[in-house]
């Protein structure tokens, strides 16, 4: 496949701004509050956004990319591969599908593959890396679509939240639950389900208990030493501690630790971790 004919486009929940020489673009999501509007693109001051929202007790809404936002990033390419945040939490995937329909109707010789990640953050990152690998290997369009669908069956997401404040403000958990979690020092561990919803699977206290519970959670779901991508919100020390824990059980690991950007930081909040893995 000729790189001049190809484009990968992801929404900003992937936390990826560039992919080396691969033609790539980001369709940004937004966080909107009384404090201000935050566009999750390369210009976003993530630290300021986190600080601002930490002081905010009002409802915060999120806005997904529009059909036009997706379309304008296709850049007249013959083959476009889109990766979206789970359709279970956002309208981003639906907007990308509308863009695909319009683009293919206007240009019958062009193809758009829309991948609903059924997840967010580091699992999306793994999917993007696999797409890049398949394209650079010279696979044809149909083969890439089929192989990326198969690959998705071998990836997963586990998350750990120390705070539920933004989820409370966004109406996703009760104020009582958020308050109790803060008082008791509870950490919530969850996963992205096969249906693309985020589900709590455990609670923990303390760093060691939390990290062991995350490892147990991904092992139960088939992790055996594959790629790991760890996104953190102001908690690089815990991310590094989790990497060290992994290295006590697995050799020659492919692990990347990185700071979460806008949307993922909004949901993970201070201290949160998102772990994408291959099973």
Is the dihedral angle over the CA atoms 196, 267, 26, 236 positive or is it negative?
negative
245 and 133 in a common domain: no
C-alpha distances in Å from residue 172, one per residue of 169, 262, 265: 8, 18, 16
In sequence order, what are the residues at sequence separation of 6 or more whose Cβ sits closer than 8 angstroms to the Cβ of residue 2? none
CATH number at residue 236: 3.30.1180.10
182 and 244 in a common domain: yes
pLDDT digits (tens, 9 = 90+) for 248-279: 999 999 999 999 999 999 999 999 999 999 99
82 and 190 in a common domain: no
Mean pLDDT by 10 residues, the chain (279 residues): 94 98 98 91 96 83 96 98 96 98 98 98 99 97 98 97 68 48 69 90 92 98 98 98 98 98 94 97
Whether residue 108 is contained in a domain is answered as yes
pLDDT digits (tens, 9 = 90+) for 33-69: 888 899 999 999 999 999 998 887 778 889 999 999 9
138 and 22 in a common domain: yes
237 and 104 in a common domain: no
Average predicted confidence (pLDDT) for the chain: 92
- Rounded distance between C-alpha atoms, residue 276 and residue 279, angstroms: 10
DSSP state of 160: E
The answer to whether the beta carbons of residues 8 and 23 sit under 8 Å apart is yes
The answer to whether the beta carbons of residues 74 and 9 sit under 8 Å apart is yes
Q: What's the pTM?
A: 0.94
Q: Is 167 exposed, middle or buried (0-12, 13-18, 19+ CB in 10 A)?
A: buried
Give the chain's domain count.
Answer: 2
The answer to whether the beta carbons of residues 9 and 27 sit under 8 Å apart is yes
Closest CA to 272 of 116, 159, 119: 159
| Rg value, the chain, Cα | 19
Output the CA angle 66-70-73, nearest 5 degrees: 140
The two structure tokens encoding residue 75:
């850049």
Whether residue 193 is contained in a domain is answered as yes
263 and 226 in a common domain: yes
């Amino acid at each position: 496949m000729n790189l001049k004919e190809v484009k990968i486009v992801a929404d900003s929940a992937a936390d990826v701004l560039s992919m080396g020489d691969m033609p790539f673009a980001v369709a940004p999501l937004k966080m909107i509050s009384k404090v201000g509007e935050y566009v999750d693109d390369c210009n976003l001051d993530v630290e300021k956004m986190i600080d601002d929202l930490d002081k905010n007790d009002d409802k915060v809404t999120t806005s997904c990319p529009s059909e036009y936002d997706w379309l304008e990033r296709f850049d007249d390419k013959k083959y476009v591969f889109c990766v979206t945040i789970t359709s279970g939490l956002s309208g981003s995937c639906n907007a990308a599908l509308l863009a695909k329909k319009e683009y293919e109707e206007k240009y019958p010789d062009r193809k758009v593959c829309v991948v609903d990640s059924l997840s967010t953050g580091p699992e999306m990152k793994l999917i993007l890396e696999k797409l890049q690998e398949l394209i650079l290997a010279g696979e044809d369009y149909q083969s890439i679509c089929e192989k990326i669908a198969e690959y998705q069956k071998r990836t997963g997401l586990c998350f750990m939240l120390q705070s539920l404040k933004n989820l409370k403000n966004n109406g996703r958990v009760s104020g009582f639950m958020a308050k109790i979690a803060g008082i008791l020092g509870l950490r919530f561990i969850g996963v992205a389900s096969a249906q693309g919803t985020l589900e709590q699977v455990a609670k923990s206290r303390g760093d060691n208990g939390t990290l062991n519970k995350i490892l147990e959670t991904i092992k139960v779901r088939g992790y055996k030493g594959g790629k790991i991508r760890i996104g953190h919100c102001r908690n690089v020390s815990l991310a590094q501690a989790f990497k060290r824990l992994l290295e006590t059980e697995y050799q020659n690991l492919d692990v990347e630790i990185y700071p979460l950007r806008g949307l993922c930081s909004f949901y993970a909040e201070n201290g949160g971790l998102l772990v994408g893995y291959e099973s």
